């Protein structure tokens, strides 16, 4: 009898673990491609410099809009058309609140102004804006970038982010988890070993991660969160209360630094008795009462993250706060209650070319499977085992030759032959064949306005990888 034991490697959520390349030439920018806002930064010495955009703001709304004459607007200019031009307005790409349509390849795309756009294409519009902001500040062309994404992104979503960067004319060196980036920025000058928690409550999503820092190695022990919880939800609570979005958003921000705020909106409407004005006083306590359930939703993911990382609150040395909503005092209080210590506000993100740290953006989910087989012929010395792996159940699509590209990595298999009650171990090293299908590459326009007149691109990841591993029997 032959017992084949397949030792599955740890599940890598990011599928990327390695050192930054030190041979990259030119300036490297760091881009936080956020759900509601994005920003770009560059390393100046050992400090990250967040670059202001043309409007003088450090963050740019992650909004794309199309004017009546077909011009594309990105950022604050697009956001101002949210009400008057809602049908040609795309925002919150990570949570999809707009009209979606089925593309020819089966993917979900968005429709604006009668045209279809893939998520990668919309992301490229925003990344192009970030690239232009950096180039305006630096005075030189920028090609290399590191982009952050939510920790829960799967491989397909990360690949779509890379595609968006390439469409925007960027060489994407790394795609890094947002909590990992915050921890990295925090720990660059730290020498002691620590376990830290990163509580990231941004505009559209919530992430919490437990990381361990040891001798320059940043390892994600666990991650959790809520895909549909962010600052926009806090805005909506106030919108339902005040019935006015812009006033609600402004009041929310003011209540992070003051205990009450006056909402004054003159000339809302004009009736027979004259103009109507809005004068309302909103207190912080009332706001906290309105959003109490939203804040409560962040507690359970924090507890699950600690459970998955097998740590207690007392084991965590630091708690980092990331995201605009963490400025809210009530959020800070809840975080302190959950982790048992005062959190640290951490606004910096990873940017630039770092060469002396190792990122392990993963959590361990090691596994071992075994099954007993019998040899099929006398004197048989080799066996062949097929292993199928993938995020979903569908296989690779049929395509023409030369379209598919293959990447290889090693997988260790151990086999144990049991003959007459005695065991003889066999060792095998096989090749893991990972197939990714690409078809019809989008061209990149040299003027920086990527894909404005370019062809549409279909880029699909093969969701199921077929592994054919020849067993090379060798007695240990």
- Measure CA 389 to chain center: 23
Would 367 be classed as within a structural domain? no
Q: Are residues 194 and 107 in the same domain?
A: yes
- Judged by average pLDDT, the poorest of 139-143, 305-309, 355-359 is 355-359
Single residue among 312, 327, 360 that ends a domain in this structure: 360
Q: Are residues 275 and 390 in the same domain?
A: no
b (16+ CB within 10 A) / e for 358-377: ebbbbbbeeeeeeeeeeeee
Confidence of residue 423 (pLDDT cuts 50, 70, 90): low
Q: Are residues 302 and 288 in the same domain?
A: no
How many alpha carbons lie under 13 Å from residue 370 in its C-beta half-sphere? 10
Q: Are residues 216 and 239 in the same domain?
A: no
Q: Are residues 168 and 316 in the same domain?
A: yes
Q: Who contacts 379 (Cβ-Cβ below 8 Å, separation ≥6)?
A: none
Would 77 be classed as within a structural domain? yes
Distance CA 445, CA 170 (A): 12
- Judged by average pLDDT, the poorest of 117-126, 140-149, 440-449 is 440-449
Would 348 be classed as within a structural domain? yes
Would 8 be classed as within a structural domain? no
Q: Are residues 285 and 309 in the same domain?
A: no
Residue 41 has pLDDT above 70, yes or no: yes
Domain, as residue range, for 36 = 17-228+297-360
Sign of the alpha-carbon torsion through 71, 75, 77, 79? positive
Q: Is 212 helix (H, G, I), strand (E, B) or coil?
A: strand
Would 38 be classed as within a structural domain? yes
Predicted confidence at residue 425, as pLDDT, reads: 52
Confidence of residue 20 (pLDDT cuts 50, 70, 90): very low
Report the side by side order of strands in the sheet with 115-117.
100-102, 108-112, 115-117
- Here the CATH number for the domain that contains residue 205 is 3.30.420.40
In this prediction, what percent of the chain has a pLDDT beyond 90? 18
Q: Are residues 49 and 134 in the same domain?
A: yes
Q: Are residues 130 and 250 in the same domain?
A: no
Predicted confidence at residue 187, as pLDDT, reads: 64
Q: Are residues 215 and 256 in the same domain?
A: no
Predicted confidence at residue 301, as pLDDT, reads: 93
Q: Are residues 105 and 162 in the same domain?
A: yes
Would 5 be classed as within a structural domain? no
Nearest to 123 by CA among 107, 109, 104, 106: 109
Predicted confidence at residue 332, as pLDDT, reads: 92
Would 369 be classed as within a structural domain? no
Output 115 or 237, whichever has higher pLDDT. Answer: 237
Q: What is the mean pLDDT of residues 179-206?
A: 80
Mean pLDDT of the chain, nearest integer:
71
**Per-residue pLDDT tens over the stretch 167-179:** 999 999 988 888 7
Q: Are residues 243 and 153 in the same domain?
A: no
Domain total of the chain: 3
Residue 77 has pLDDT above 70, yes or no: yes
pTM of the model: 0.62
Confidence of residue 352 (pLDDT cuts 50, 70, 90): very low
Single residue among 250, 269, 294 that ends a domain in this structure: 294
Residue 404 has pLDDT above 70, yes or no: no
Nearest to 319 by CA among 183, 227, 180: 183
């Amino acid at each position: 009898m032959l017992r084949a034991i397949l030792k599955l490697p740890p599940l890598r959520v990011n599928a990327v673990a390695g050192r930054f390349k030190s041979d990259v030439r030119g300036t490297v920018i760091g881009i936080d491609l956020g759900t509601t806002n994005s920003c770009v930064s560059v390393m100046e010495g050992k400090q990250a410099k967040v670059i202001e955009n043309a409007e003088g703001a450090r963050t740019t709304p992650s909004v794309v809009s199309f004017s009546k004459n077909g011009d594309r607007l990105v950022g604050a200019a697009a956001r101002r058309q949210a009400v008057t031009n809602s049908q040609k307005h795309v925002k919150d790409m990570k949570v999809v609140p707009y009209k979606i349509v089925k593309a020819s390849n089966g993917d979900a795309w968005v429709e604006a102004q009668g045209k279809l756009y893939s998520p990668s294409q919309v992301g490229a519009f925003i990344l192009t804006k970030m690239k232009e902001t950096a180039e305006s500040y630096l005075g030189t062309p920028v090609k290399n970038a590191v982009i952050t994404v939510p920790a829960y992104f799967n491989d397909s979503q990360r690949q779509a982010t890379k595609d968006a960067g390439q469409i925007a004319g960027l060489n994407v060196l790394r795609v890094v988890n947002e909590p990992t980036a915050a921890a990295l920025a925090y720990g660059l000058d730290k020498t002691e070993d620590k376990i830290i928690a990163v509580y990231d409550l941004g505009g559209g999503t919530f992430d919490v991660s437990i990381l361990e820092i040891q001798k320059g190695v940043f390892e994600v022990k666990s991650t959790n969160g809520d895909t549909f919880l962010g600052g926009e939800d806090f805005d909506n609570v106030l919108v339902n209360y005040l019935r006015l979005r812009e006033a609600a958003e402004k009041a929310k921000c003011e209540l992070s630094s003051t205990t009450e705020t006056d909402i004054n909106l003159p000339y809302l409407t004009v009736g027979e008795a004259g103009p109507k004005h809005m004068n309302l006083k909103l207190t912080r306590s009332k706001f906290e009462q309105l959003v109490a359930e939203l804040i409560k939703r962040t507690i359970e993911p924090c507890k699950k993250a600690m459970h998955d990382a097998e740590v207690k609150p007392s084991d965590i040395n630091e708690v980092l706060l990331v995201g605009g909503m963490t400025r809210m005092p009530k959020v800070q209080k809840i975080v302190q209650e959950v982790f048992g210590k005062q959190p640290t506000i951490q606004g910096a993100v990873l940017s630039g070319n770092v060469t002396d740290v190792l990122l392990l953006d993963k959590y361990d989910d090691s596994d071992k499977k075994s099954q007993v087989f019998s040899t099929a012929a006398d004197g048989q010395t080799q066996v062949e085992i097929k292993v199928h792996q993938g995020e979903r159940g569908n296989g690779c699509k049929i395509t023409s030759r030369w379209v598919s590209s293959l990447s290889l990595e090693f997988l260790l298999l151990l086999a144990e032959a049991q003959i007459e009650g005695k065991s003889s171990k066999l060792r095998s090293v096989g090749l893991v064949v990972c197939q990714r299908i690409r078809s019809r590459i989008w061209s990149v326009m040299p003027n920086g306005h990527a894909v404005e007149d370019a062809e549409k691109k279909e880029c699909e990841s093969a969701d199921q990888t077929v592994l054919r591993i020849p067993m090379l029997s060798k007695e240990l």
